[in-house]
A and B are shown apart, each in its own frame.
Chain A
Amino acid sequence: MDTVQHFDLLFVILAAAVATFATRVGGYVLITQLKHIPPRLEAALNAVPAAVLTTLVAPAFVSGGIEVAASMLVAFAVGLRFSTLRMLVVGWAVVMAIRHGIL
């Protein structure tokens, strides 16, 4: 990689770090401006984890291919009863079994 390109890379990394820290402190800065938290805002905050994490799951389910969708469905069923670690192991086993022609 030449010098100019490497400078670009370092700039991107450090700018990305600043931008990411801004998101991680931004909510705190916004929320401390408010004296008390109204019920609707609290309902919104309680919805944050499920709403955000779902957006990291759903697109993979529809665009990852049939074997990814199948392994996610099985992992979902496992996750209703068991830990995330077991979900990962079982889901991984399903996708490997399909890709390598065992299932």
Chain B
Amino acid sequence: MNRAEFREGLREGFPVIVAASPFGALFGALAIDNGFSIADAVLMSATVYAGASQMVGIELFGNHVQPWLIVLSIFAVNFRHVLYSASLTRHIKHYTPIQKFFAFFLLVDPQYAESERRAERDLPVTFSWYLGFALIIYVLWLVTTVVGAVFGQMIGDPKAIGLDVLLPIYFLGLVLGFRKRDRFLPIVATSAVASIAAMHFVGSPWHVSIGALAGIVLAACLPNSRAERQCDPLEQGN
């Protein structure tokens, strides 16, 4: 373990917990509202550890949806993690099997986004940095779950205090972080239209997987800039 890199991870994870804390608290509050005990809520935050899908899960459980359908919905909301882990593999080849286990267990949206950005800036995605970044988020996620569960009644209506806009704006910020990548605009436009259409015609949570696949398939099908450069002597000369 490299302590300097671990501390750097902790420091860089701090803005994430500031953004995620309201959702941890909101999850805790909603969980109590849907018949969970505090221990149930903490168990879910500790083992599933995927905010949006936890919200979906408790909502469905509160509505007495069949267990297999709840698990399937959580799987669908988190299906994007298949893509994250495929993509992250390039940057963590040097991890030991145990380190890989923890890396994948802790692979949430900001963890993936920040690892990619780090690799993009040619910084190594060391296990020390990764664990520091992950641990501060994980521990605070559990703490805010408890806080929300205990003080749930005090939160009242999430809309009245504007909690509902924080999650989409937070994800919007993550999207903007990738705006320098190839084909950013067509990919975002395609995924946006496809996810809105899927939300309308198929329903949540499938809009996540359908919208994402539309953008990714588009990126794979568009003329490939790297292949073109290899065929084009003019551009090779630049």
Shortest CB distance B229–A (Å): 10
User: Which residue of chain A has its CB nearest to the CB of B163?
Assistant: A92
Shortest CB distance B175–A (Å): 5
Interface of chain A, helix or strand or loop or mixed? helix
Interface status of B153 (Cβ within 8 A of chain A): no
Interface of chain B, helix or strand or loop or mixed? helix
Docked CA distance A71–B169 (Å): 9
Interface range, B side: 35 or more
**Of B1-9, B128-136, B138-146, B204-212, which stretch is located at the interface?**
B204-212
Interface status of B47 (Cβ within 8 A of chain A): yes
Shortest CB distance A94–B (Å): 8
Interface status of A3 (Cβ within 8 A of chain B): no
Shortest CB distance B146–A (Å): 16
Interface range, A side: 35 or more
Chain B contacts with A in 186-206, Cβ cutoff 8 A = 187-188, 190-196, 199, 204
A13-B43, A27-B86 as given contacts; A20 in contact with B53, CB under 8 Å: yes
Structural contact, B44 and A16, CB atoms closer than 8 A: yes
Shortest CB distance B152–A (Å): 16
Structural contact, B86 and A28, CB atoms closer than 8 A: yes
Structural contact, B191 and A51, CB atoms closer than 8 A: yes
Structural contact, A85 and B15, CB atoms closer than 8 A: yes
A64-78 vs B, CB cutoff 8 Å, 1 = contact: the mask equals: 100010011001100
Chain B contacts with A in 125-184, Cβ cutoff 8 A = 159-162, 164-179, 181-184
User: Which residue of chain A has its CB nearest to the CB of B199?
Assistant: A59
Write out the residue numbers on chain A whose beta carbons fall within 8 Å of the beta carbon of B124. none
Structural contact, A47 and B109, CB atoms closer than 8 A: no
Structural contact, A92 and B166, CB atoms closer than 8 A: yes
Write out the residue numbers on chain A whose beta carbons fall within 8 Å of the beta carbon of B218. 47
User: Which residue of chain A has its CB nearest to the CB of B116?
Assistant: A49
Structural contact, A75 and B100, CB atoms closer than 8 A: no
Write out the residue numbers on chain B whose beta carbons fall within 8 Å of the beta carbon of A40. 220-221, 224
Out of B71, B162, B169, B182, which one reaches A75, CB within 8 Å?
B169
Structural contact, B212 and A76, CB atoms closer than 8 A: no
A47-B216, A59-B195, A59-B199 as given contacts; A24 in contact with B81, CB under 8 Å: yes
A25-B104, A30-B86, A46-B181 as given contacts; A12 in contact with B172, CB under 8 Å: no
Structural contact, B78 and A23, CB atoms closer than 8 A: yes
Candidate in A46, A51, A68 with the most chain B CB atoms within 10 angstroms: A51
Q: A-B pairs with the 5 shortest C-beta distances?
A: A27-B86, A51-B215, A84-B173, A47-B219, A27-B85
Identify 12 new A-B residue pairs, CB closer than 8 A, beyond the known A5-B35, A43-B222, A96-B161: A13-B47, A13-B57, A16-B53, A23-B78, A37-B90, A47-B216, A51-B213, A54-B192, A55-B210, A58-B195, A60-B167, A64-B168
Chain A interface residues (CB < 8 Å from chain B): 1, 5, 8-17, 19-28, 30-32, 37, 39-64, 68, 71-72, 75-76, 79-80, 83-85, 87-88, 91-92, 95-96, 99
